[in-house]
Structure 1
Amino acid sequence: MGTPLPVNLVIPGRERRRRLAVLFLLYLGALALIVFWPSPVDAGSAGTLQALLDALHKRGVPGWVNYTLVESTANVLLFIPFGILAAAYLTERFAWLAAVVGMGASCVIEAGQHLFLPARYATVHDVIANSLGAVLGTLAVYVVRSWKHTGPVPGGHRRDA
């Protein structure tokens, strides 16, 4: 049997790990439904979204707020929970792995869409947007953890990290 890692990879607290694992599995299930649905998930609403964008443009919203921006933003938002949940499960020293695994997952998803779902469009742009979401989620965990280390103390002063 192998020697255990000298440094803990996952956070302490069995109950907290269990809750994070359950949330992550639920998230992954929802993610799998979205990304491996046989047809684009926005197929039924693309016309409605375009009509909404046209109406917004008539009211002064800039032209660069378009379908591509909405789709990219949705991809970023879709992967933020990946980064948050994975990084929260890992210790501070290894939380960066959440971003790397998120990027890898995005590559696997896009490859799967390309190989097995002819109605879906696998793009490098989606990989970049998904990866950005995973990175932002991971960074959010680092920010929250840094607040815990340097947060306010009684008297309004801040502790040093």
Structure 2
Amino acid sequence: MTFLSNQRAWRIVLFALLGLLAFVAYWPQPVDQPVQGALTAVFKFLHRHGIPHWVDYELLEASANIALFIPIGFASCLAFPKKSFWLIGAFGLGISACLELGQLLCLHNRFPSPLDLVTNTSGAVIGAALAAVVLRSRVPSPCGDGTRKLERRLSR
């Protein structure tokens, strides 16, 4: 049995990733607050030197949210390989909704956002798709039938 096909190991990895994600999401202050001034200066510099104005903090934040959930989707797909692809996305949405609700109810310095639900879920789906691509030649179906359908569409 290889590590990629070891469901138990991937469930441990998933649990650790969820713990890390909760740590970041429930940090009392926004995690980027200490570097907010530096980020503003960097974006001003980039905009003065020809980078389009749509490349801004909001794009960086959305990209970071996607990047945070890619490992969640990847590990979920490998931890529960018989689950369909859409279910991995729903799991990502559920985790994101719990995190956003917790921020809304418990953290007055954090601001939940519907866009976070979309970007986080997208990250989980991208992670599951990456797991499918990585394992395509090694394991018949890493995420159920939904992944095979997606793989067929992507390979066209």
Q: TM-score, normalized by length of structure 1?
A: 0.78
Q: Which has the higher contact order (CA 8 A, sep 6+)?
A: 2
The partner residue of 2:91 within 93, 98, 101 is 101
Residue number in structure 2 paired with 1:138: 128
The partner residue of 2:117 within 127, 148, 155 is 127
Q: In the alignment, is the contact (CA less than 8 A) between 1:88 and 1:95 conserved in 2? A: no
The partner residue of 1:59 within 49, 58, 67 is 49
Q: What is the aligned length?
A: 140
Residue number in structure 2 paired with 1:16: 6
Q: In the alignment, is the contact (CA less than 8 A) between 1:87 and 1:97 conserved in 2? A: no
Shift of 1:25: 1.9
Between the aligned partners of 2:112 and 2:44, the Cα distance in structure 1 is: 26
Q: In the alignment, is the contact (CA less than 8 A) between 1:106 and 1:130 conserved in 2? A: yes
Q: In the alignment, is the contact (CA less than 8 A) between 1:92 and 1:142 conserved in 2? A: no
Q: Deviations over 1:44-98 (max 9, x none)?
A: 1111111111111122111110000000000010100110000011225534422
Q: In the alignment, is the contact (CA less than 8 A) between 2:14 and 2:76 conserved in 1? A: yes
Partner SS, residue 44 of structure 1 = helix
Let me know the Cα RMSD of the aligned residues.
2.5
- The verdict on how the C-alpha distance between 1:16 and 1:149 changes in structure 2, with shifts beyond 3 A counting, is closer
**Does 2:34 align with 1:44?**
yes
Unaligned runs of 5+ in 2: 141-151
Paired-residue identity, %: 35
Q: TM-score, normalized by length of structure 2?
A: 0.80
Between the aligned partners of 1:89 and 1:78, the Cα distance in structure 2 is: 18
Unaligned runs of 5+ in 1: 1-11, 151-160
